[in-house]
Structure 1
Amino acid sequence: MFPNKIKLSLFLCLSMCLGIGILRFSYTALLPVTREAYDWTTNFASLLGSANLLGYLIGAFWALKLPQNQKLPFYIQMAAITGSLSLLACAFSNFSASWYIGWRILSGISGGLLMILSPSVIAQCCQPEDRLSINFIGFSGIGLGVLMATLFLPWLDQIATQIAWLLLFSCSALICMVLIFLLYQFKPYLTDQSTQTTTIPVFNGLFLALLMVYASSAFAYVPHSLFWIDYLSNTLNLNLYWINFNWILYGIGSALGAFVAFVAFLLARKFGNFTALKILYSIYVLAILIAVLNVYPIFTFVSSFLTGMLNPAVVFLTSYTILQLFNQQYKKLWSIATLVFATTQLIGGLTFSTLQKFGASYHHQFMLASFILLIGTLILMGYLYRHPTVQIKTKDKKFKHSIKNL
């Protein structure tokens, strides 16, 4: 008898909310006011963004090495607690640069661990036929976390920066307690699968093509995830009201991302699962590119909403696809996918930071991001065009039907 679906969905939702939504996007949302309040330079603020990406890479690599057994809850709990403390650490000014860099790295490590280990727990604790609904609800937590990071924006000119960070810490601490409670109930269902996770993963062209486009989305994801508020504030010189409106649109889009992926999945049952991914990635390219069209506010509104929506959508569909294609090797392959995502993301962060030092505008960065994602999308499309009758073995009959016409 497996745990209740509602508890599993809540667990994954809160893990994604904390690990990706809050720990990542709270910094983006609060960056302009924090930089001003703490007297940070632009270069140091950019360095902290790269430090978080480095931590995410470390967390993804660490998760790849962890055995899939009853110790997983311990690592998830420690990641959640450490990530929450990193928010508390940012609530205090006048500390040394190493203080903030260290905590931003720890925040990234926590996010990487939560991103990989939490879905792995779900894979062991649910029935195969429940995976879609649980992952659908769970990955919507990314958007929920982004929305939580936006709650304080309308009042940032009325409350102290320290208060905003303390409120986020309070929310994350509450999430931690719920996660610990749920993990205690899941632990008996976790079995030792070390013999399975140590086997060499079976790579094929389909997985590698999927990996390439997923990695390119990591690179393209950086400008909006780290610099969007700064772009709206210091490049477009928007007032606080319009900055808040754009970021709230980003949060709403993120919250709807998993629902969009679910709709795409239903359509994919007729036309093929990867058809949905091709459509989503193609729209993603345009969503990033139109950020440079700042003549009319509608372009920034659309870019905010679509980029917020498409990131959790492609993460959800990618994770679920790997889970259904490779089943017992899911943790290993999802760890590899997340590791590649984190590595490319870090490269993207360092690339964009370097471009800023050499005077490249945000417009150039958005154009580069959309171009890289376009290349990844074309790689996936090219593979599927050359292999129109790909057959994947899986025990999930619904999923087999959804991809049989690739």
Structure 2
Amino acid sequence: MIQGNTDSDRYSIRTSLFGMLVLALGMGIGRFLYTPMLALLLTEGHFSFSQLSWIASANYAGYLAGSLLFSFGLFHLPSRLRPMLLTSAIATGGLIVAMSVFTQPALVMLIRFLAGVASAGMMIFGTMTVLQHTRHPFVIASLFSGVGAGIILGNEYVIAGIQMSLASHALWLGAGALSGLLLLLLAWLMPGRAHALPPAPLATARNPVMRWWQLTLLYGLAGFGYIIVATYLPLMAHNAGSPQIALHLWSLVGLAIIPGCFGWLWAAKRWGVLQCLTANLIIQGVCVMLTLASDAPLLLIVSSIGFGATFMGTTSLVMPLARQLSVPGNINLLGVVTLTYGIGQIVGPMLTSMLGSGSEALTHATLWGAAALFLAATISAMQLYKR
């Protein structure tokens, strides 16, 4: 009996590491390596600020397109999950290498769009593979904490490359090699089908905490609210008093994501999902506004930690709600909230580009993002008074 428990614990740890690696590669590197690279690309003069913003939006559009494409049932057959996951992982690495080859804005936008599709594949197929084998909250939190681990790894890699005077071309190539290593580890840790669990039925709350369209609107606002900082933070902090602090702020965001993924799940069980979602969005909105304090390093550190601890927490709180609310007809609420969140992410960089270039555009866009988060928090808080 003791041996059985030991085997179970060992299997859970292996599954946790697998899930962390999936999102470290697919999201932390595949999507968010672009955040520290953006400032370098702008400095090198390969692209204008407006072009870099459109390239970022193309990636978010690809993620949205991939999320919708992979929501079709034909991709969810158990026999297809692992091949689709590995295909997405290989594509992620290959598209990172492709970034080192092309500098034409239209081609780079296409590459980042396809990278977004691959990231969505890794998120969806990786999550489904993990949920096939466990529903333990610790393992699920480990899965989402992989985003933070990948952000730390990617940002520190870029910092080291810049200190060695490497150009963006060399950094993209190196990131491709790093992705190859993570892919090998992921394939080695991938759980087999022998321990798969039966499918879990969708839960339906008898007294829903909010209407389905309210959650849809809330999550769309959250997607818009966070993406400005998630795209431009290193550039926004460029004028901070300490260059070293500015370089490592994005790593602080990644570091804070890891305990945040565990903390919000624990807090929701203790105090309730709505209470925690409201607090999460308010804290996130405040931290987004604090990122404007580019001349106050301490405030930038606080805002980066608070932002990292909340933005993935929003997802971990909203997804269970989406499974509980009743919807008219055959609407897939998980797909609808993913759609509005994706639209919010696309609009953020596009709005920044339309507002101009430089610090003034970033300031205005950041204020709009904070306002969106506060509005989302208001929607959540209003449901508390109705109960």
In structure 2, the residue matched to 1:353 is: 353
Shift of residue 307 of structure 1? 1.5
Between the aligned partners of 2:19 and 2:88, the Cα distance in structure 1 is 14
In structure 2, the residue matched to 1:401 is: none
Task: Return closer, same or farther for 1:296/1:359 CA change in 2, 3 Å cut-off.
Answer: closer
Matching of residue 57 in structure 1 with residue 64 in structure 2: yes
The residue type paired with residue 278 of structure 1 is: T
- Per-residue CA deviations over 1:83-134 (Å, capped at 9, x if unaligned) read 11111111235x43333122111111111222222222222221x4x2x111
- Per-residue CA deviations over 1:300-354 (Å, capped at 9, x if unaligned) read 222222222221222233335556889xxxxx54444323211221122222222
Contact in 1 for aligned 2:64/2:339 (Cα 8 Å): yes
Between the aligned partners of 2:152 and 2:304, the Cα distance in structure 1 is 13
- Give 1:175's match in structure 2, choosing from 178, 182, 187: 182
5 Å-filtered alignment, 1:128-143, equals 128=135, 130=136, 132-143=137-148
Task: Return closer, same or farther for 1:40/1:186 CA change in 2, 3 Å cut-off.
Answer: same
Contact in 1 for aligned 2:278/2:380 (Cα 8 Å): yes
In structure 2, the residue matched to 1:397 is: none
Contact in 2 for aligned 1:250/1:309 (Cα 8 Å): no
The residue type paired with residue 175 of structure 2 is: L
Task: Return closer, same or farther for 1:313/1:97 CA change in 2, 3 Å cut-off.
Answer: same
Shift of residue 143 of structure 1? 0.6
In structure 2, the residue matched to 1:72 is: 81
Shift of residue 191 of structure 1? 8.5
5 Å-filtered alignment, 1:8-157, equals 8-37=15-44, 39-67=46-74, 68-70=76-78, 71-92=80-101, 95-126=103-134, 128=135, 130=136, 132-151=137-156, 152-157=158-163
Percent of residue pairs bearing the same amino acid type: 20
RMSD: 3.2
Task: Return closer, same or farther for 1:12/1:334 CA change in 2, 3 Å cut-off.
Answer: farther
Between the aligned partners of 1:50 and 1:345, the Cα distance in structure 2 is 7
Shift of residue 19 of structure 1? 1.7
5 Å-filtered alignment, 1:3-402, equals 4-37=11-44, 39-67=46-74, 68-70=76-78, 71-92=80-101, 95-126=103-134, 128=135, 130=136, 132-151=137-156, 152-161=158-167, 162-183=169-190, 185-188=191-194, 205=210, 207-233=212-238, 236=239, 238=240, 242=243, 244-319=244-319, 322=322, 333-356=333-356, 361-387=361-387
Gapped runs of 5+ residues in structure 1?
327-331, 388-406
Q: Secondary structure at the match of 2:373?
A: helix
TM-score by length of 1: 0.81
Contact in 1 for aligned 2:256/2:305 (Cα 8 Å): no
Between the aligned partners of 2:160 and 2:184, the Cα distance in structure 1 is 28
The residue type paired with residue 152 of structure 2 is: L
Between the aligned partners of 2:309 and 2:250, the Cα distance in structure 1 is 7
Length, aligned pairs only = 369
Between the aligned partners of 2:212 and 2:11, the Cα distance in structure 1 is 31
The residue type paired with residue 79 of structure 1 is: S
Shift of residue 359 of structure 1? 9.5
In structure 2, the residue matched to 1:391 is: none
The residue type paired with residue 57 of structure 2 is: S
Between the aligned partners of 1:312 and 1:10, the Cα distance in structure 2 is 18
Task: Return closer, same or farther for 1:34/1:358 CA change in 2, 3 Å cut-off.
Answer: closer
The residue type paired with residue 112 of structure 1 is: A
Gapped runs of 5+ residues in structure 2?
327-331
